[in-house]
């Protein structure tokens, strides 16, 4: 089909078919961009988790160096123990990390609202284009003097708008669900890192004018005092 025929077909749909390539371009652009970004973040999250798993305690120097080699959102989480070195309570550290997670999560699904909009909008615009094309077919029906071949051809052309909208919606829906699954996995990675950092906190508390460790080390310290 020539470009002139495609332009005529798009015009008979009320111009809706001119919009469809734009919607497809938006869907593909957002899907590819988010896929690349979320894939990079996922790999960084796995690397950070493997490095933190090797630590016996929170070392600000090690965490700071690891943060410099890592991008958002895990960089922001690694910087929390560095920026708050005096935090010795695990609950307080957990709250600070939870705050960081809540601030970073919106950056993961950035621009995905465009993909969601395309999934909803494309079939609706396709249906509108088909309705407009059917109007032209009915007008042609009144002037065709019973030429059923031309009438059915016009109806078939009108249905192309709906088919185009459905195809774009299917592509966008598959991409959107896949990216949503990636975002859920990244949130799980962030929550796992938060737990790992809290578990490796060597909390210190004031005890008799001296700073004594918490947990099992605190029990040893108390036994030595007795």
pLDDT of 41: 95
The DSSP element (H or E) to which 207 belongs, if any, is strand 204-207
Can you tell me the mean pLDDT for 145-173?
76
> Taking the CB of residue 158, how many other CB atoms lie within 10 A of it?
22
Can you tell me the mean pLDDT for 138-155?
60
Q: Distance between CA 172 and CA 180 in Å, rounded?
A: 12
Question: Model confidence over 65-102: pLDDT tens digits?
Answer: 999 999 989 999 999 999 988 888 889 999 999 999 99
Bridge partners for 204 per DSSP: 213
pLDDT of 67: 92
Can you tell me the mean pLDDT for 133-143?
68
Split at pLDDT 50, 70, 90, the class of 2 is low
Question: Which one has a higher pLDDT value, 7 or 35?
Answer: 35
CA distances from 193 to 63, 97, 106, 136 (A): 12, 9, 18, 60
CA-based radius of gyration for the chain: 30
Split at pLDDT 50, 70, 90, the class of 11 is low
Residue 220 has pLDDT above 60, yes or no: no
């Amino acid at each position: 089909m020539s470009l002139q025929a495609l332009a005529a077909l798009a015009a008979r749909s009320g111009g809706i078919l001119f919009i469809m390539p734009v919607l497809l371009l938006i869907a593909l652009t957002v899907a590819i961009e988010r896929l690349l970004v979320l894939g990079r973040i996922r790999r960084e999250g796995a690397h950070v988790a493997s490095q933190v798993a090797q630590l016996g305690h929170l070392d600000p120097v090690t965490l700071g160096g690891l943060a410099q080699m890592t991008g958002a959102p895990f960089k922001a989480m690694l910087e929390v123990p560095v920026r708050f070195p005096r935090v010795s309570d695990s609950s307080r550290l957990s709250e600070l990390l939870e705050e960081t997670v809540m601030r970073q999560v919106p950056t993961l699904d950035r621009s995905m609202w465009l993909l969601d909009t395309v999934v909803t909008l494309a079939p609706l615009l396709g249906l509108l284009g088909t309705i407009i094309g059917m109007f032209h077919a009915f007008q042609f029906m009144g002037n065709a003097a019973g030429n059923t071949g031309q009438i059915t051809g016009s109806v078939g052309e009108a249905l192309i708008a709906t088919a185009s909208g459905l195809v774009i919606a299917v592509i966008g829906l598959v991409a959107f669900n896949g990216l949503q699954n990636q975002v859920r996995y990244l949130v799980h990675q962030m929550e796992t890192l938060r737990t790992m950092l809290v578990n490796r906190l060597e909390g210190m508390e004031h005890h008799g004018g001296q700073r004594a460790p918490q947990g099992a080390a605190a029990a040893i310290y108390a036994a030595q005092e007795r």
